[in-house]
A and B are shown apart, each in its own frame.
Chain A
Amino acid sequence: MAKYLEMIRIRFLMMLAYRTNYYSGILIYSINIGAYYFLWSAIYGDKPSIQHLSIVQMTTYIAVSWMARAFYFNNIDREIALEIKEGKVAIEMIRPYNYLSMKMMQGLGEGVFRILFFSVPGMVIVYFIFPIQFTSHPATWLYFLVSIILSFIINTQINLLTGIATFFLFNNDGLIRAKRVVIDLFSGLILPISFFPGWAQSIMGYLPFQGISYIPSMIFTEGFQGSEVIHGLMNQALWCLVLFIPIQVLWTTAKRQLIVQGG
């Protein structure tokens, strides 16, 4: 356990060394939030609410979605792909730790860094620019915290899966790009799942993606009420457990047929 904690710390310190890159990142996220804010303002026009979300809730939803993205987003799929391509993964495999857990910890180190140095200041900035409401219920904050931790786990598991796929595809850039696009749409980052037509919603109900962005953002904006919150968290927890299965299966298969390129 100690070595995994150490890995989180090292990643955190690595990010700290390059922290200036993050200030421009906050600006980029603010630009994105701004674009969607104006778009949604125009869409709402003079409607008081759409799908039980008011315009203030919608703006909050967008802001929180983007800022939470900074926490769960990581490039470990790319890193794994690169390590497999360069043959470094063979070295990783003989080291005394579980490679995939270690990757997850690196992602967590990045996530913790970004939430402190990116999301929190970013949220303060957008709070002053756009009409955003923070809830005063401590319970909501607590649920949200649990929810983004679960969302980090789900997203990272999907990243591990795409990373491991490199073993079978050799060149994985296309899949990684496609996955990113799909997640932006199906996770509810660019628009809440409840806005989709009914048939699309029911399909998405069977997919893990809404646990990445939609559920935590709905909890934060209090678009989910009462039992819906618990349902959302249960859905996320369930997917966390379910996703372990394909990861394990793919990983054991991959280890058996490892071809180190150039080795």
Chain B
Amino acid sequence: MSYLSIFFQYAGQYLKTRLTYRADMLVEIFSDLLFQAVNLIFILVVFGHTSLLKGWSKDEMVFIYGFFLVPFAVFGAFFNIWDFTDRYIVKGEMDRILTRPIHSLFQIILERMELESLFGGVTGLAIMYYAGNNLGLSLHWYDPFIFLVLVAGGALVYAGIFVTLASIGFWSDSRTDIMPMMYNIGNYGRYPVDIYNRIIRYVLTWILPFAFVGVYPAAYFLGREEWYHYAFITPLIGVIFFAISVFLWNIGVTKYRGAGN
């Protein structure tokens, strides 16, 4: 059994269970949409009072937000590990995972899939299309491919940060609120980083690189050449951060002692 076929089998099972409760799923998608709409309304209302924000126009801001939604949706669909410590370590579920011959992180990704989050990506594409139209952006034939690479990079940045945080659970299973905190810090990435002061900009670029989920990759499509070198290292940053997180995870698994006695 290859990892890929296991993935599709899980996804198939998942869709069956979700489609059993269609109303639930629709309500969930609807409340996600509402959430995305609120952030969009915020941007639109703010630009009712100013025409430029540190040199970014309304449509550019909207475009950045639209782009951010796509990698964030991919992350939300596959990396629901915000409750990993409670669910797997405190309750001892990790024991079950570790007895199976597939990488433990991959299994958790499969078990905690939430494919309906991917609708957020559709919203993001729609928002980008709308803003791109207003800006008169044109696409080259290779742009969709670059888009996919940059989205993957952004999603890996998010995944890397959260897998790293989840790995902390192997060393200490005490409750921390570091996950929700990180979600809130991630929101900083929805806006252009040059509105923040230098320290925060540095943190968002090199330490908690949320800027690579929003403004940097989006800058490529907006044709802002001063950001290109940041835009193009997005996949690299994503891979590096994700690799570090998997490395930490693997060390953590060896430290896992199991629940009970």
Partner of A42, one of B23, B53, B178: B53
The dominant DSSP class at the A interface is helix
Binding stretch for chain A, among B39-47, B131-139, B152-160: B39-47
Query: Measured between alpha carbons, how far is A184 from B181 in the docked complex, in Å?
Result: 18
Q: Is the CB of B45 within 8 A of A28?
A: no
Q: From known contacts A28-B181, A35-B187, A178-B31, infer whether A197 and B48 are also in contact, taking CB-CB under 8 Å.
A: yes
Q: How large is the interface on B (under 10, 10 to 19, 20 to 34, 35 or more residues)?
A: 20 to 34
Partner of B184, one of A35, A38, A44: A35
The tally of CB-CB contacts under 8 A between chains A and B is 84
Contact partners of A41 in chain B: CB under 8 A: 195
User: Nearest CB to that of A20 among chain B residues?
Assistant: B175
Contact partners of A175 in chain B: CB under 8 A: 27
Q: Is the CB of B175 within 8 A of A184?
A: no
Q: From known contacts A24-B176, A25-B177, infer whether A195 and B49 are also in contact, taking CB-CB under 8 Å.
A: yes
Judge if B255 is at the interface, Cβ distance under 8 Å.
no
B interface footprint on A26-53 (CB within 8 Å = 1, 0 otherwise) = 0110011001001101111101001100
Contact partners of A50 in chain B: CB under 8 A: 49-50
Judge if A191 is at the interface, Cβ distance under 8 Å.
yes
Q: Is the CB of A31 within 8 A of B34?
A: no
**B251 smallest CB distance to A (angstroms):** 25
Most chain A CB within 10 A, of B30, B34, B53, B175, is at B34
**A62 smallest CB distance to B (angstroms):** 13
- State which residues 13-57 of B face A: CB under 8 Å: 21, 23-24, 27-28, 30-31, 34-35, 38, 41-42, 45-46, 48-50, 53-54
Contact partners of B42 in chain A: CB under 8 A: 185, 190-191
Query: Measured between alpha carbons, how far is A27 from B179 in the docked complex, in Å?
Result: 12
Judge if A2 is at the interface, Cβ distance under 8 Å.
no
Q: Is the CB of A43 within 8 A of B50?
A: yes
Most chain A CB within 10 A, of B23, B28, B196, is at B196
Query: Measured between alpha carbons, how far is A178 from B46 in the docked complex, in Å?
Result: 22
Contact partners of B35 in chain A: CB under 8 A: 177, 181
A interface footprint on B79-116 (CB within 8 Å = 1, 0 otherwise) = 00000000000000000000000000000000000000
Judge if B197 is at the interface, Cβ distance under 8 Å.
yes
Judge if B191 is at the interface, Cβ distance under 8 Å.
yes
- Seed contacts A25-B177, A195-B46; 4 additional CB < 8 Å A-B pairs: A21-B175, A24-B178, A35-B188, A171-B21
The 9 closest A-B pairs by CB, nearest first: A174-B27, A24-B177, A42-B195, A178-B31, A177-B31, A185-B38, A31-B184, A38-B196, A181-B35
- A and B contact pairs by CB, cutoff 8 A, 18 listed: A24-B176, A32-B187, A38-B197, A41-B195, A42-B53, A42-B195, A44-B50, A47-B50, A171-B21, A171-B23, A173-B28, A175-B27, A181-B31, A181-B34, A181-B35, A184-B38, A191-B42, A191-B46
